[in-house]
Amino acid sequence: MAKNRSEGHFRLSNLFSYNAPVVLTFSVISLVVLLLNERLPVDLNRMLFSVYRTSFRDPLMYVRVFTHVLGHADMAHFSQNICLLLVIGPIVEEKYGSRNLLLAMVITAFVTGVLHMVLFPGTVLLGASGIVFMAILMASITNFRDRKIPLTLILVAAIYIGQEIFSGVTAHDNISQFGHIVGGVMGIIFGLTFTKEVDREAP
C-alpha cells in the first residue's frame, strides 16, 4: 500500500498558524527595517521611515507619510510598540477583518503623518505607537451593540487619551503624545464604523 509522502514528515503548517496576517506582516517588516537601519551605513529611518516637513518637490516625503509607522529608533522602542500590537492586533483583525484593519492602519499613518508635518514642522516622527493606540481603541469597541456606547470604550478613551493630553501639557520628552491621540481618535472612528459594517453582514 502506497504511503502518503507527507506522513512521517514534520510540517510547520501543522504546528503554527499565521493567525493575523496584517499584524504579523507589519511586525516582521518593522523588525527588518530596524535591523537594516542598524546595519546599513546610511540612516534608513531618516531617508524612508520617519516623517518630517521637507520640500513638496521631495518625492520621498509622500512615501514617508505612510512608512514612518514602520521605523523605530531602537530595539526598546520597537519592542514596546510591537509587543503590545501583537497582543491586541489579532483580536482586532479577527473582529473587523484583515482588509479593514489594513485600511485603518494606512489611513491612520497618513493622517498622523500629515498632521505632524503641518503642526510640528521642526520635529521628526517615527514608530507604530499611533497604530497601537488605534488598535487599543478599536479593541474596546468589539462589543458595540444596539447603538449603545460600550462603557469599556469610555473608560479606555478617558484613560489613554486623557493621559496623553496630560502628558503633552506637562511632559518634556521626545514621545509624540499628539500621534497617540490621533491614533486613538482614529481607532474610535474606525471601530464604530467597522462594527456597524460587521453587524450588517452578520446572519
Say if 12 falls within a structural domain. Answer: no
Query: What DSSP letter does each residue of 131-148 carry, written as one string?
Result: HHHHHHHHHTTTT-BTTB
pLDDT in tens, 153-192: 677 777 766 766 666 555 555 456 788 889 989 999 999 8
- Summarised one tens digit per residue, pLDDT across range 91-119 is 999 989 999 999 999 999 999 999 999 98
- Residue 109 falls within a domain, yes or no? yes
The reply to whether 134 falls in a domain is yes
Question: Which segment, 14-18, 112-116, 196-200, is predicted with the most confidence on average?
Answer: 112-116
pLDDT for 69-82, tens place per residue?
999 999 999 999 99
Q: How confident is the model at residue 140 (pLDDT cuts 50, 70, 90)?
A: confident
pTM: 0.83
In a domain, 135, yes or no: yes
Domain hosting residue 196, numbered range: 19-201
Q: What is the mean pLDDT of the chain?
A: 83
Domain tally, the chain: 1
Report if residue 3 sits inside a domain: no
**Within-domain flag for 9:** no
Q: What is the CATH number of the domain that holds 43?
A: 1.20.1540.10
Assigned domain for 58 exists: yes
Per-residue pLDDT at 60: 93
Where do runs of H (alpha helix) occur along the chain?
21-39, 44-48, 59-67, 75-96, 98-119, 129-139, 151-156, 162-170, 177-201
Residue 28 has pLDDT above 60, yes or no: yes
